A and B are shown apart, each in its own frame.
Chain A
Amino acid sequence: MSEINPPFFNRRPPASPPGPVCLSNGRVIDPAGGRDEIADVYLRDGKVEAVLPADATESGKGRCPTVIDCEGKIVAPGLVDCHVHFREPGGGQKESIATGTRAAAAGGFTSVLMMPNTSPPADGPNTIAWMRQRAEEKAVVNVYTSGCISAGMEGEVLAPIGSLRKSGVVAITDDGLCVQNNELMRRACEYATMFDLPILDHCQDAHLTTGGVMNEGYWSTVLGLPGWPTVAEEIIVARNALLAETSGASLHCQHLSSVGAVRIIREARARGVDITGEVMPHHLALTDQACDGYDTNAKMNPPLRTQREIDALLEGIADGTITILSSDHAPHADYEKEVEFRNAPFGIIGLETELAVFIKTLIEPKVIDWPKLIEMLTIAPAKLMRCRKGTLAEGAAADVTVIDPDLEWTVMSELFESKSRNCPFDGWELKGRATHTIVGGEIVWTLDGGFGE
């Protein structure tokens, strides 16, 4: 993790710079700086100016035109999600960079990493340039993007990884289509080390999951749906651990859902291998029983598993094996999801429920504490992306999320900013929500005022 990437895809700064902001009296949690205390956070000229003890700055507040009372709230570095699908180009019926970043802001996320499985896929500098232009015009939060490992995501020849790096990608991945050829994966790992580019892998042996649409287990047996065994993930995670070790590449295993994956990553990390793992909210909050009734919003890749896998993921989060949390925000239009289970696309939207579902599954049962949760949603993914985000250090970008940890709310997907509605949590009573999303010192979204339009 030597070089820090320049923030290629920062949201375009507003025409007039935002005025100074004071976030007053909140519980400031900045895991990157080891901070967890009641304090005031001062933002000026798009940067964090200072974080000062709350009782020491009464006079300073008076000079600040915008003071936000954060008493009872958590003031955290802007949340970072390193796994989102914004579907642009090619999937405008599902989502766009405009609506996707609005969903991110409304969920408290100030930076996101887009996956490259668009149409065409982001396997060359042209598509990346197009995305950058789009992001500069439309994005309301910082947008980073990844490039493909293989040309066309076909798993046969390497994509122009050096050119992709030059055009600004912060990672490479064939997310959605795991590279099956171990030789190609080996070469991708070796090649990526020249640019310190992390490789994000969607760990799935395609032969073992041929035709699979849900977890292989009791419920696939009862429902008569083709099963998808956990070993399909474990085999590739094991391969990745071995390739990361021999190549020295930084390898990140996406959306883990199996007992063996956690065990393999734990063992590899203990030996110093640069391998990381991430977990999604739905893999902690739901089991494969959700497929009973053939609700296509319970159809994801990897599939929902059982309590046994949930327990292993929780253990891996608690003991530090798994370091990153993200959403796999995967929008699909209603008409695409409202079909026979077999024919429905995989995936659900996640950005607007992510924080609250993690609170429900990790904070409420005391699996981890708030500083750990914030770490896994800020500095940890920012480090993976080698970007200067996820911290409230003096001089850092003024990306801040204010969270009301006690706010009770009911999920109503029809009110979401995302263009899609494929949400399995509709109607759930959740606790905890972002109230202010600040990007580059500008308050882009508030719970009370939305985007101020």
Chain B
Amino acid sequence: MSEPWKHKDLLGIRELARADLDLIHDTAAAFKAVINRPIKKVPSLRGRTVINLFVEPSTRTRTSFELAAKRLSADVVQIDGSSSSFTKGESLRDTGRNLEAMNADYIVLRHSAAGAAHFLADRLGASIINAGDGAHEHPTQALLDTFTMRERLGDLSGKHVVIVGDILFSRVARSNIWALAKLGARITLVGPRTLLPPRFADIGENVSVCYNLDEVMAEADVIMLLRIQHERQQKAMFPSLGEYIGLFGVTPKRFARCRPETLIMHPGPINRGVELDHALADGVNSVVLQQVTNGLAVRMAILYLLGGGHPAEMQP
């Protein structure tokens, strides 16, 4: 915890160094102690303004950022796409500049266009936190996912993480691939060929692509499921949900191939009975709700670090 945080924004995992990931994780560990106390609030960001600009719908991430900011004593404003001037055709540039004119210190942006967070970061002095931009990245999700894995598995070096589902359109997959690669894990991506182009393996030496889930179950330390997006079916990416479940759904029978301690993760929202069996989602291997709890600690850590906080000065 020696090096301080040096970035104005958090746009993606790709741009971060291993040391940045460790710093966030270590800071999040300290904040996790805070959120388990009876009084869950610290004054670190008193007087700062956090604007949650969610142009695309979200429950978990939005609530998590709101709570994280409130626990750090910041003032939080929520803006939803449906209630914003986007519906009147205002450009992202103008919206961002207007928010900055109100002295926003942080803008947490969820947007359906890849690169939207970069776009604001290049133009505004405020710290931009990418809360998901199209199919590009969702860095805080990967940070909370790897934080959760680290809690359960310790050092992730050499650990084998299998990510299953719609990889092509998934920002969660991309951010996790970068994060896990930087942390030394081995990553196997699994999904239908149409949703998993082989070139994903070009992202890193320890990334591989596989089209047969049964082949890789036995050696997985973590199985991370991604939501299958029904609407994509119209684009002929796979024939039917039934066929998808048959090939890639994590059913009890299929999960029996795994070692007993294999973790099941899912960023939510879950399609129960599609990518993940109903009972497994709530079973002992599932850490889905720990992911959510940890998300709060990780987002507190990110807001704290971006605000200039130094881990050594933290008084949880």
Within 8 A of B (CB), among A339-356: 339-343
Contact A225 B202 (CB under 8 A): no
Chain A residue with Cβ nearest B134: A224
A342 to B202, CA, bound (A): 24
B200 part of interface (Cβ distance < 8 Å): yes
Within 8 A of A (CB), among B222-258: 235
> What bracket does the count of chain A residues touching chain B fall in?
10 to 19
Contact B199 A339 (CB under 8 A): no
Contact A224 B118 (CB under 8 A): no
B289 part of interface (Cβ distance < 8 Å): no
B175 → chain A closest CB, angstroms: 10
A309 → chain B closest CB, angstroms: 15
Chain A residues lying within 8 Å of B199, measured Cβ to Cβ, are 217-218, 221
Chain B residue with Cβ nearest A342: B113
A289 → chain B closest CB, angstroms: 13
A342 → chain B closest CB, angstroms: 4
A220 → chain B closest CB, angstroms: 9
Contact B114 A294 (CB under 8 A): yes
Return the CB mask of A304-339 against B: 1 if under 8 Å, else 0: 000000000000000000000000000000010011
Contact A342 B134 (CB under 8 A): yes
Return the CB mask of B151-190 against A: 1 if under 8 Å, else 0: 0000000000000000000010010000000000000000
Instruction: Give me 7 A-to-B residue pairs in the complex whose CB atoms sit less than 8 angstroms apart, sorted by A's number.
Output: A218-B199, A222-B14, A223-B136, A224-B135, A335-B91, A339-B93, A340-B113
Chain B residue with Cβ nearest A340: B113
Chain B residue with Cβ nearest A293: B118
Contact B200 A221 (CB under 8 A): yes
Chain A residue with Cβ nearest B112: A342
A70 to B270, CA, bound (A): 73
Contact A343 B197 (CB under 8 A): no
* 19 additional A-B residue pairs with CB within 8 Å, beyond A222-B174, A224-B136, A340-B92: A210-B235, A218-B202, A221-B200, A222-B14, A222-B203, A223-B115, A223-B136, A224-B137, A225-B115, A225-B136, A226-B135, A294-B115, A339-B91, A340-B115, A340-B119, A341-B114, A341-B119, A342-B115, A342-B134
Chain A residues lying within 8 Å of B202, measured Cβ to Cβ, are 218, 221
Looking at the complex, which one of B14, B92, B137 makes contact with A339 (CB distance below 8 Å)?
A: B92
Chain A residues lying within 8 Å of B298, measured Cβ to Cβ, are none
Given known A-B contacts A222-B14, A294-B119, A343-B113, A338 and B203 have beta carbons under 8 A apart: no
Chain A residue with Cβ nearest B137: A224
> What bracket does the count of chain B residues touching chain A fall in?
20 to 34
A293 to B15, CA, bound (A): 11
Chain A residues lying within 8 Å of B119, measured Cβ to Cβ, are 294, 339-341
B32 part of interface (Cβ distance < 8 Å): no
A422 → chain B closest CB, angstroms: 15
Chain B residues lying within 8 Å of A335, measured Cβ to Cβ, are 91
Within 8 A of A (CB), among B111-127: 111, 113-116, 118-119
B105 part of interface (Cβ distance < 8 Å): no
Chain A residues lying within 8 Å of B91, measured Cβ to Cβ, are 335, 338-339
Chain A residue with Cβ nearest B200: A221
Q: Would you list the 4 A-B pairs with minimal beta carbon distance, nearest first?
A: A224-B136, A294-B115, A224-B135, A340-B113
Given known A-B contacts A339-B92, A340-B92, A221 and B197 have beta carbons under 8 A apart: yes
Chain A residues lying within 8 Å of B116, measured Cβ to Cβ, are 340
A222 to B173, CA, bound (A): 11
Contact A225 B114 (CB under 8 A): yes
B284 → chain A closest CB, angstroms: 34
Chain A residues lying within 8 Å of B200, measured Cβ to Cβ, are 221
Chain B residue with Cβ nearest A343: B113
Contact B93 A223 (CB under 8 A): no
Q: Which interface residue of A224, A225, A342 has the most chain B CB atoms within 10 A?
A: A224
Within 8 A of B (CB), among A243-295: 293-294
Contact A342 B114 (CB under 8 A): yes
Q: Which interface residue of B92, B114, B199 has the most chain A CB atoms within 10 A?
A: B114
B62 → chain A closest CB, angstroms: 20
Chain A residue with Cβ nearest B114: A224
Chain B residues lying within 8 Å of A342, measured Cβ to Cβ, are 113-115, 134
Chain A residue with Cβ nearest B117: A294
Chain A residues lying within 8 Å of B136, measured Cβ to Cβ, are 223-225
Chain A residues lying within 8 Å of B14, measured Cβ to Cβ, are 222
A217 to B197, CA, bound (A): 9
Chain A residues lying within 8 Å of B92, measured Cβ to Cβ, are 339-340
A340 to B136, CA, bound (A): 13
Given known A-B contacts A218-B202, A340-B119, A224 and B111 have beta carbons under 8 A apart: no
Return the CB mask of A369-407 against B: 1 if under 8 Å, else 0: 000000000000000000000000000000000000000
Within 8 A of B (CB), among A188-242: 210, 216-218, 221-226
A338 to B197, CA, bound (A): 30
A340 to B93, CA, bound (A): 9
